[in-house]
Chains A and B, each alone.
Chain A
Amino acid sequence: MRSTPARRTGSAVRRTLPVLVVVLALLAVWYAAALIVGLPTARALAPPHTAPLGLVGAALTLDRPLVPAPQQVAATLVAGIAQPITSPRSLIYHAGVTASTAVVGFLLAFAVGIALAIGIVNLRVLDRSIMPWIIASQTVPALAVAPMVVVVLGNMGLTGLIPKALIAAWLSFFPIVTSMVAGLRSPDRIQLDLLRTYSAGGWDVFRRLRWPASMGFLFPGMKVAATLAVVGAIVAELPTGAQAGLGARLLGASYYGQTLQLWATLVMASLLAVVAVAMTDAARAILVRARGGRL
């Protein structure tokens, strides 16, 4: 889990080269697919006796391709990002709307998840009665219930960000609870016994042993929770009739058959998820530094 700096730098080439090869292979497959799917359309549209090379070029630059070529998606993405941020066509604007939902949902899930985990570890009743339901709650496809949550909360006068954030929170609180429970339970019997010989009270055991020990478990859970918050925020925008947000953009682009917009929005959503994961990694790095290089 903790790789030393020496090992990390020493194998940098060994690690990046295979990834590079795989990514290039995927790009090649993508181009091939775009070409194979696009050629018949390009042939139908092109004037007769077009040179084969011209056909290839046409197939990769179709207006509404079934499989857009990578450079088309990249160009649409860049164009969407370059828009002024106030424009409804700006991808940054839509990503910002989705991100704010995801952040509020994640913070909510974090607070509730940590509190529940502490309760579950300390109170046997809570462990016995709630833990099975927390697990069961995840077998309910929460995203599928999103429309109802939005309607119910809308009837109670809650509209806008809150219903969407609640859906994101519902999705992301589970990995936080389970990883935190596992972390708080991770100290060995020997360590607990040691603290008992110091006649440490329950609060001291929690503060000096359980809480510090849980951090190594919490961060992998937080990573999953962060991406789930983004997913939840996007899906929550689908049925709410939302005008803004990456989910609304996906729905609109799909409705009007704007393939390039669809793909560019999807890439933007992926970038958002990557940023979310990077932020949990950054939080972890800060904590590691604060603790003198260990977690």
Chain B
Amino acid sequence: MPRAQSWSVRAAGGSSVGAESRFARVATPLAFGLAVLAIWQAACVVFHVPRILLPAPTAIGAAFVQNLPMLGADFVQTVVRSMLPGFAIGSAAGFAVALIVDASPFLRRGVLPVASLAGALPIVGIAPIMVMWFGFDWQSKAAVAAVMTFFPMLVNTVAGLEAPGAIERDLMRSYTASGPQTLEKLRLPAALPFIFNALKLNTTLALIGAIVAEFFGTPIVGMGFRISTEASRLDLDVVWAETLLAAITGSALFFGIAWLERRVTFWRPAFQSTTEKEMR
């Protein structure tokens, strides 16, 4: 899958799951994370690190709790109203165009190179243009997120539909399956891992698009707006709290999609016994 590879590497690291107990798999990174937090806190207290440099974790936690209403409003503006619609529109459009492109070999050969090139461009730079077109509110942010998520979904879906081998296709032909039937029974299921890969990638891209677009003009609410204004006011507690919110949002969406992937594509070897992998 040479085409899809460049897009899939970003999410490819998750498969190094061992055969150890579930507990060890969760506990080791958790312990590492807690250790880092403890060192951070201790360093802040012992060396009296100024808050402008690096607030202690407890200070960030306090800022998070104190500013909950404001964080909630920012979350609604940036995630619920800007990012999620953009993510849905961009991914759905990418999928639809992939189905159209897939129907014609000519289109596939023409669109794929252009789409892979577009995927490699700094698309987030269109943010000022979108703000100019659609105004300061969530519409322009959703538009940036939609364009950013369109190309990964298009490229991955087309590659995924190509994934079934000659043997599987021949089998469908020997059943005299029609084109749509082959698509439904064989090629779409085979494309699902690629599609989920694109969805996982797109959660991060959409969040980045929505937040960065706010640097180019916003109503006075939103995570990107808050981060840039509070950073210039040196109110780093709030900036860190906002970062924490962004991290929680990004992780929740990513692992939500990963959970859905396990439920939907339960038949994949990667999600079954992991003992063979552990032999390495």
Contacts and interface: CB of A to CB of B under 8 A. Distances in A.
Interface of A: 1, 14-15, 17-23, 26, 66, 125, 127-136, 138-145, 147-148, 150-152, 155-156, 174-175, 177-179, 181-182, 185, 189, 192, 217, 220-221, 223-224, 227, 230-231, 234-235, 238-239, 246, 250-251, 253-254, 257, 259, 262-263, 265-266, 269-270, 272-274, 277
Of the listed residues A133, A150, A192, A250, the one surrounded by the most CB atoms of chain B closer than 10 A to its CB is A250
B13 A147 contact: no
Nearest to A239: B228
Contacts of A227: 120-122
Instruction: Please classify how large the interface on chain B is, using the bins under 10, 10 to 19, 20 to 34, 35 or more.
Output: 35 or more
Contacts of B232: 147, 151
8 interchain residue pairs of minimum CB distance: A18-B110, A254-B128, A139-B250, A129-B32, A178-B13, A22-B110, A144-B211, A132-B29
A72 to B, nearest CB: 14
29 contacts: A18-B106, A21-B110, A131-B16, A131-B29, A133-B29, A139-B247, A139-B250, A140-B243, A140-B246, A141-B211, A143-B124, A144-B212, A144-B243, A148-B240, A156-B53, A182-B12, A182-B13, A189-B280, A223-B6, A223-B120, A224-B10, A227-B121, A231-B122, A234-B124, A235-B124, A238-B212, A251-B215, A254-B131, A266-B129
Contacts of B254: 139
Interface in B226-260: 227-228, 231-232, 234, 236, 239-240, 243, 246-247, 250-251, 253-255
B10 A178 contact: yes
A135 B25 CA distance: 14
B180 interface: no
Contacts of A262: 128-129, 132
A182 B13 CA distance: 7
Contact of B236 (A152, A156, A192, A270): A152
A192 B279 CA distance: 11
A72 B231 CA distance: 37
A133 B33 contact: yes
Contact of A274 (B120, B129, B215): B120
Interface of B: 2, 5-7, 9-14, 16, 18, 24-25, 28-29, 31-33, 50, 52-54, 106-111, 113-114, 117, 120-122, 124-126, 128-129, 131-133, 203-204, 207-208, 211-212, 215-217, 223-224, 227-228, 231-232, 234, 236, 239-240, 243, 246-247, 250-251, 253-255, 279-280
A175 B9 contact: yes
Contact of B9 (A22, A129, A178, A185): A178
Contact of B204 (A1, A139, A266, A270): A139
- Chain B interface main SS type: helix
Nearest to A117: B13
A291 to B, nearest CB: 19
Given A19-B109, A147-B239, A230-B122, 20 more contacts: A15-B113, A17-B110, A66-B133, A127-B16, A128-B24, A130-B32, A132-B29, A140-B247, A148-B231, A175-B9, A178-B11, A189-B280, A220-B5, A220-B9, A221-B9, A227-B122, A235-B212, A239-B231, A250-B128, A251-B216
A179 B172 CA distance: 34
B279 to A, nearest CB: 6
Given A139-B203, A239-B215, A145 B6 contact: no
B103 to A, nearest CB: 14
Contacts of A128: 18, 24-25, 28-29
Contacts of A217: 9
Contacts of A224: 6-7, 9-10, 120
Contacts of A182: 9, 12-13
A274 B243 CA distance: 31
B159 to A, nearest CB: 13
A22 B111 contact: yes
A266 B114 CA distance: 17
B246 A141 contact: yes
A162 B33 CA distance: 26
A27 to B, nearest CB: 12
Contacts of A129: 28-29, 31-32
